[in-house]
Amino acid sequence: MSRPVIDVSGVSKAFRLPHERRTTLKEHVLHPFHRTTYEVQQALDDVSFTVQEGEFFGIIGPNGSGKSTLLKILAGIYRQDSGTVRVDGRLSPFIELGVGFNPELTARDNVRINGTLLGLGKAELEDRFDAIFEFAGLERFIDQKLKNFSSGMHVRLAYSIAIQVEFDVLLLDEVLAVGDAEFQEKCFATFLGFRDQRKTIVLVTHGVETLTELADCVLLLRAGRVEALGDAPEVVARYQGQLVV
Amino acid sequence: MIAGSEFKLKYAGSVFGYAWSVAKPLALFTVLYLVFARIFKLGAISDYYAVSLLLGIVLFGLFSDATSLGMTSLVARESLLRKLVFPRLVIPMAATITAGLTFLVNLMVVAGFVAWEQVTPRLDWLLVIPLLVELYSFTLGLALILATLFVRFRDMGQVWELGLQLLFYASPIIYPIGFLPPFARDLVFLNPFTQVLQDIRALVLYPDLPGNTITAGEAFETFGRLIPIGIAAATLVIGLLLFKREEPWFAERV
């Protein structure tokens, strides 16, 4: 039977956005009593949900609805103001692809650095080096500087490194936006492979087709609140219905 | 491991990366040597004025590079902080280690000068290693404090630039510490940097000329070196605690 791997209950997060940002000492010293006025942005408001083991969980919502903030809280990059988050199992350490890529370095060096940042050991990385480039279909460009890569090639390389990382729960923010049809097919195939291995995937996306095709469960966020949670087709329809209205 | 890639990154863009790291202290040394040894005749006070000066410059280079790189490291690696989960300590550590690697390259040049002066190597030179560990700990502690502050107050950059300049002249790099009146000397010895510099000089350059150099051990009779060593250790502990306390908030504040 399935068991919950992610359990989020009553999570809220507010960002204080100072109107006039005081980041220098001088401003603190010269105006010690001049209190900065803050605009409180309630990014997440009492969000609760659970994700079962092996589930493909989608998060959708308009821009600024708190999707990325939620993902960052799941990953432990941000800390919630209230509520609890429990994650059972190894989290993938990244939420975006290609973090730390340096355009001045070759693809080879970037794979080494990015792989290291993602927690791959030296030996592991060497073992999987060819596999990474083969999956990305970029064998010809190993010694090219990354700045000469197209954005599609960028994402292909980044994704190919990312799937080499060992995890139980994969958190991803908007990854399938770029890349050609053939590569998207490959990505779908790996997603299905992860599902067979009972790995859990949480995907933030605007690509509703992807979700209807792959997701078991979808969470619709609006202004930091859970608007809908349930089967992919229903929630996606609701999201699209709102767009029409 | 991550520190290694950071080091690679640092020099990846520039062709003369490593060469610059040696050229900078050497250029400063040349200027200071010409002014103080040739014009003000400070060279006359000791046979080893030149090596002694270069050693001071190179050690101070480590201190100043590591603290200033460490200070800005969190802000510079903002995208990593926001998108990746990993111990945040790695970032300032990597910055200070990068400075440390540059220092090791410079140390070769100092070694060249020492060899040229025909000082006979001795086994007790190995004591230089714990002294460098002490200096590194002190530096890392400061870097952590500065990095944490810099996330909130961006003008720490200006403050520390001035601070480094003052510390350079408040340390016996150009002048021998014996030139200072006793009260000023004791004050200067509170800085672990001064203690380490004087100890290394005494160890490597003046073993047979005890009158030529003064170490913290002689300045503070009862507690001796324990005072600056204690300050160095306390700085590291405070730095680590402060950094750990603020760590969860770096991603959103940076």
Mind spelling out the 3-state secondary structure of chain B? CHHHHHHHHHHHCCCCHHHHHHHHHHHHHHHHHHHHHHHCCHHHHCCCHHHHHHHHHHHHHHHHHHHHHHHHHHHHCHHHHHHECCCCCHHHHHHHHHHHHHHHHHHHHHHHHHHHCCCCCCHHHHHHHHHHHHHHHHHHHHHHHHHHHHHHCCCHHHHHHHHHHHHHHCCCCCCCHHHCCHHHHHHHHCCHHHHHHHHHHHHHCCCCCHHHCCCHHHHCCCCCCHHHHHHHHHHHHHHHHHHHHHHHHHHHHC
Instruction: Report the share of chain A in percent with pLDDT over 90.
Output: 3
Cα of B77 to nearest chain A Cα, Å: 8
Q: Where does the pLDDT of residue B14 fall: very low under 50, low under 70, confident under 90, or very high at 90 and above?
A: low
Q: Which residue of A has its CA nearest to B86?
A: A93
Query: Which of B179, B7, B41, B71 has the alpha carbon at shortest distance from A102?
Result: B7
B86 and A93 within 8 Å at the Cβ level: the answer is yes
Does the pLDDT value for residue B176 go beyond 60?
yes
Interchain CB contacts (distance < 8 Å): A and B: 68
Q: Where does the pLDDT of residue A65 fall: very low under 50, low under 70, confident under 90, or very high at 90 and above?
A: confident
Of A93, A105, A112, the CB nearest to B85: A93
**Number of structural domains, chain B?**
1
Phi first, then psi, for residue B62 (nearest 5°) are: -60, -50
Quote the pLDDT of residue B244.
92
Does the pLDDT value for residue B227 go beyond 60?
yes
B→A contacts (Cβ < 8 Å), by residue, are 1-2, 5, 8-9, 12-13, 79-86, 152-156, 159, 248-249, 251-252
**Does residue A19 or residue A181 have the better pLDDT?**
A181
Q: Which residue of A has its CA nearest to B84?
A: A94
B83 and A79 within 8 Å at the Cβ level: the answer is no
Cα of B51 to nearest chain A Cα, Å: 38
Quote the pLDDT of residue B220.
65
If you average pLDDT over every residue of chain A, what do you get?
82
Of A24, A77, A79, the CB nearest to B85: A77
Quote the pLDDT of residue B62.
94
Does the pLDDT value for residue B5 go beyond 70?
no
A94 and B155 within 8 Å at the Cβ level: the answer is no
B12 and A109 within 8 Å at the Cβ level: the answer is yes
Any CB–CB contact under 8 A between A104 and chain B? yes
B155 and A25 within 8 Å at the Cβ level: the answer is yes
Strand order in the sheet with A200-204: A169-173, A200-204, A56-60, A217-222, A225-231
- What mean pLDDT do residues A135-142 have? 86
- Residue B141 vs residues A61, B156, B242: alpha-carbon distances, Å: 44, 16, 10
Quote the pLDDT of residue A139.
84
A93 and B84 within 8 Å at the Cβ level: the answer is yes
Quote the pLDDT of residue A20.
61
Q: Which of A34-43, A170-179, B71-80, B211-220 has the lowest mean pLDDT?
A: B211-220
- Cα–Cα distance measured from residue B236 to residue B89, given in angstroms and rounded to the nearest whole number: 13
**Does residue B79 or residue B235 have the better pLDDT?**
B235
If you average pLDDT over every residue of chain B, what do you get?
84
Cα of A139 to nearest chain B Cα, Å: 22
Quote the pLDDT of residue B174.
87
pLDDT in tens, B120-170: 788 888 889 999 999 999 999 999 999 999 998 888 999 999 999 999 999
Of A25, A104, A116, the CB nearest to B12: A104
Any CB–CB contact under 8 A between A77 and chain B? yes
Residue B244 structural domain: 2-253
Quote the pLDDT of residue B208.
58
- Cα–Cα distance measured from residue B200 to residue B189, given in angstroms and rounded to the nearest whole number: 14
Give the tokens for residue A162.
Answer: 């990312």
Question: CB count, 10 Å around CB of A187?
Answer: 20
User: Looking at beta carbons, which residues of chain B come within 8 Å of A25?
Assistant: 153, 155-156, 159
A99 and B9 within 8 Å at the Cβ level: the answer is no
Query: Which of B102, B107, B131 has the alpha carbon at shortest distance from B193?
Result: B131
- What mean pLDDT do residues B189-194 have? 91
Question: What are the strands, taking DSSP E only, across A98-198?
Answer: 169-173
Any CB–CB contact under 8 A between A116 and chain B? yes
Does the pLDDT value for residue A21 go beyond 70?
no
pLDDT in tens, B63-120: 999 999 999 988 888 888 888 888 888 889 888 988 888 898 889 888 888 888 877 7
Give the tokens for residue A32.
Answer: 């010690």
Q: Where does the pLDDT of residue A195 fall: very low under 50, low under 70, confident under 90, or very high at 90 and above?
A: confident
- Cα–Cα distance measured from residue A233 to residue A175, given in angstroms and rounded to the nearest whole number: 21
Q: Which of A128-132, B35-39, B113-117 has the lowest mean pLDDT?
A: B35-39
Does the pLDDT value for residue A125 go beyond 90?
no
Which of the residues B81, B85, B148, B250 would you substitute to probe the A interface, choosing the one with the greatest number of A C-beta atoms within 10 Å? B85
Instruction: Report the share of chain A in percent with pLDDT over 70.
Output: 88
